[in-house]
Amino acid sequence: MTMTTATPLSIEFFPPKTSEGVEKLRLVRQQLYALKPEFCSVTFGAGGSTQEGTFNTVRDILAEGVSAASHFSCIGATRATVRAQLATLKAMGVKRLVALRGDLPSGYGAGGEFQYASDLVTFIRAETSDDFHLEVAAYPEVHPQAKSPASDLQAFAAKVKAGANSAITQYFYNADAYFRFVEEVDAMGLTIPVVPGIMPITSSTQLMRFSDACGAEIPRWIRLRLQSFGDDLPSIKAFGLDVVTDLCAQLQAGGAPGLHFYSMNQSVATLEICKRLGC
């Protein structure tokens, strides 16, 4: 399968926790830069990572001459801390943020001065006008804490109306969920691009664990196939490449405005999928 027109790509990393991880990610990034990503983004606060780790990785990407987006979560934050972090990011030359609510580790109370990502988008726009291109999260299979699909869509609309420029979705393996979400967004008169988030499949247990936590559905046929491979990693990887390449091709054929790869700080699967797509 090959694409006829170039699809904008973006690639997501998480901040490594060790100096070996930092060096390994440097190499991974160099390999992935061959895909000429529109930007690379770095997660913030996920999995216990620190804000310093995020900012350091963002700095490294900018120093490599690539556009970098910092994820920015507001849960538990105050206006004063957010204001200070925005000033740091601006001084670093960051032009794009992924504005999120984030998740508190279980056992922590909510606290903080922001309740939802829409509050963060409103605050960033009020404080920094159009200094940043703002991405927000979208959930074609509905955010796990949403009261209903309709209220989740309203929450998404609130982020757009507050000033988001574009959106990246949670990953999914059911293209229809994405296309329906985009139709609903269009029907509400919201015109921002909604870029599908793509999670390559490279391991069975890791994917199951992640998906349970973030509410992404692994279709039964994929789950059963993965389970049937047991510890046979080459078969899992081969199957994963086929499934995710097909998904990307469907998304492109249906007009997705780009592809955002959750690289998990690995290059092989993303490179192979893009090669098969002709990116």
Q: Could you say whether residue 102 binds ligand FAD (CB under 6 A)?
A: yes
Q: Which stretch binds ligand FAD (CB under 6 A): 31-39, 85-93, 100-108, 238-246?
A: 100-108
Q: Could you say whether residue 44 binds ligand FAD (CB under 6 A)?
A: yes
- The 10 Å Cβ neighbour count of residue 48 is 8
Do residues 63 and 35 make contact, with C-beta atoms less than 8 angstroms apart?
no
12 is catalytic: yes
Do residues 11 and 37 make contact, with C-beta atoms less than 8 angstroms apart?
yes
Do residues 243 and 201 make contact, with C-beta atoms less than 8 angstroms apart?
yes
Among 7, 57, 85, 118, binds ligand FAD (CB under 6 A): 118
Q: How far is the CB of 238 from ligand FAD (least distance, A)?
A: 27
Cα–Cα nearest to 10, from 214, 195, 241, 166: 195
Among 33, 116, 179, 229, binds ligand FAD (CB under 6 A): 116
Q: Which stretch binds ligand FAD (CB under 6 A): 17-25, 41-49, 174-182, 268-276?
A: 41-49
Strands (E) in the chain, as ranges, are: 9-13, 39-42, 68-73, 96-100, 133-138, 166-171, 194-198, 259-262
Nearer to ligand FAD, 112 or 197 (CB): 197
The SS3 assignment for 156 reads: helix
Q: Which stretch binds ligand FAD (CB under 6 A): 152-160, 222-230, 239-247, 250-258?
A: 152-160
Among 40, 134, 141, 143, binds ligand FAD (CB under 6 A): 143
Q: Could you say whether residue 101 binds ligand FAD (CB under 6 A)?
A: yes
The amino acid at residue 205 is T
Strand duo 259-262 + 194-198: pairing: parallel
Catalytic annotation, residues: 12
Contact residues toward ligand FAD (CB under 6 A) are: 43-46, 71, 73, 98, 100-103, 116-118, 137, 143, 145-146, 151-152, 155, 158-159, 168, 170, 197
